[in-house]
Every structure is written in structure tokens, then in C-alpha cells.
Amino acid sequence: MDDCDDRHTDGHLLLDRDMMKQNAIIRVENLNIGYDGKVIMKNLSFDIPKGDIFIIMGGSGCGKSTLLRTLTGLIPAQAGRILIRDTDFINACSKDKLDIMKHSGILYQSGALFSSMTLAENVALPLQQYTSYSRDRISQIVSFKLALVGLCGYEDYYPSEISGGMRKRAGLARALALDPEIVYFDEPSAGLDPVSSKNLDDLILEINKTLGTTIIVVTHELASIFTIAKNSIFLDKTIRTISAKGNPRELLKNPPNQQVYEFLTRGEPNEKGTK
């Protein structure tokens, strides 16, 4: 490739990055994350475009879930900024922070449903807390959200009466109750069989396509990463920061470092045909 081609390629890369920044619903700048003053990851900077399916990936213990909890305000940042819709989430007043959180949904690993409440009651809870809708209106929304995730007719079931995959979908229905702009997923495939995991991936893609929801997923599952991701970051615990950004399929074609290559090729057969 000659110098003109280099300039042409670099120009397109710069243009793509500028467009991502302009369209970013979340912008993270020089973020340090950790617990009790101990920094797990440092100098994290990345943009999440509106309507993206964004993967936070990396090996076990690299800080993926810690980053997600920091982005959602469940634990404080050690340093840096998180801009959500151009609002400084870390330093926002209580009212602005609550407004941001009301426009966000979270699906936890276990689904985090209240065991003593039916699926309908679980999904209705945020609507009862944060809206002034009538009981009939809430009931209509609950039925719609459960139907959206394939649980029509299960309104009166308790979490213990359904499968793990169904509990995840019920948790997603609750996360979608307030029509959030952003939905966070913490290891959504954890504990699921391959078929249930694929069904959940398909559901994530459908919600992103039909509702335009920005979706942020913490996962190390390669099948899910290659199926749903539009963009990603790789948290590298050897250097305690991000070592790769971009579409995972592109990162696999042109791995920027050995850690990313090994992560994205786990389970592939070697030259002798063994794993």
C-alpha cells in the first residue's frame, strides 16, 4: 500500500471515529475502576454509539462486571468521567442521576427476580415506582413486555415455576418496562444451555433492531460475541486497560495483540485437529 492509500485509509478511520463520537450515547473518558481504592482497570476511554450492541469482553477477573457496575452507578468510579447523553453521570445531582437511571435497564446474571412475586408483579414493579399509570395501564404494559420476550400467558407464574432461560427473559421484560434507551446485560448466557443462549442472543438482536435500544453486554462467550456484537472493547488484565476496540469479527481477522488473538480463538482446533 502506497502513501496515498495510507492517507485514504487513515482519513476514513478518523471520519468513522468522529461520527461515533458525534453519535455517542455514552462516552467514557480516562476511567479508573475498582474497589476500596484498589484500581483494577485504568485509563479506560471509549464511545458507545446510540443504537449499538456493544460488548465488554476479556478473560476471567479482568474487571468486566466491575466496569458494568461503574457505568450503571452501582459502585463509584476511582477517577475519570462517564458522560451519558452529555450529562456527567459521576458528578450529576441526584435528580439528573435518577433520570438517567430511569432511562436505563439492567439484566443481571441470575435475572434477579423477586421469588415471592409473580412474573407480572416483577415487571410491574418499576412502573409502579416511577410512573403514575393506572392499574389497568400497567397491566397492559406488563402483558406487552412479557409477550415481547416470548412469555405471553406466564403472567401468574412464579420464578421457581419456570426454567432458567425463561427467568432471564422475564428479567429482560422487567428491564424493558420503562422503555429504556440503554439496556445493560451482565453475562446473559451464564447458566444457560446452548439453545437457550442462542434464543437470548436472537432476542437481543430483535430488541435492538425493532426498538433501537442501545445494548451493552458483558460476556466472555464467543458464540454470543460473534453473533450479536457491532462494537467491543477488550479488557486486558496483563496491562490493566483496554488493548483492543472494534467489531470482534474484524479483530479476529486482524488481531492487535496475542491476548486478543488467544481470547477470540479459544476452542478452535489446532493443526492436528485437536483442541
Give SS3 for 197: helix
Q: Which is it for strands 182-186 and 104-107: parallel, antiparallel or unpaired?
A: parallel
User: pLDDT by residue (tens digit) across 30-87?
Assistant: 999 999 889 999 999 999 999 999 999 999 889 999 999 999 999 999 999 999 999 9
pLDDT at position 230: 97
Task: Tell me the mean pLDDT in the region 115-132.
Answer: 95
CA distance 23 to 46: 13
Task: Tell me the mean pLDDT in the region 220-242.
Answer: 95
Domain ranges of the chain: 50-75+104-264
CATH class of 50-75+104-264: alpha beta
Instruction: Compute the C-alpha angle 129/134/139, nearest 5°.
Output: 85
pLDDT at position 247: 97
Q: What is the dihedral of CA 192, 198, 203, 204, to 10 degrees?
A: 90
Task: Tell me the mean pLDDT in the region 203-207.
Answer: 94
273 has a pLDDT exceeding 50: no
Q: pLDDT band for 17, please (50, 70, 90 cuts).
A: low
Instruction: Determine the residue type at 154.
Output: Y
Backbone angles phi, psi at 37, to 5 degrees: 80, -10
Greatest Cα pair distance, the chain, in angstroms, is 67
Q: pLDDT band for 241, please (50, 70, 90 cuts).
A: very high
Supply the pTM of this predicted model: 0.86
269 has a pLDDT exceeding 80: no
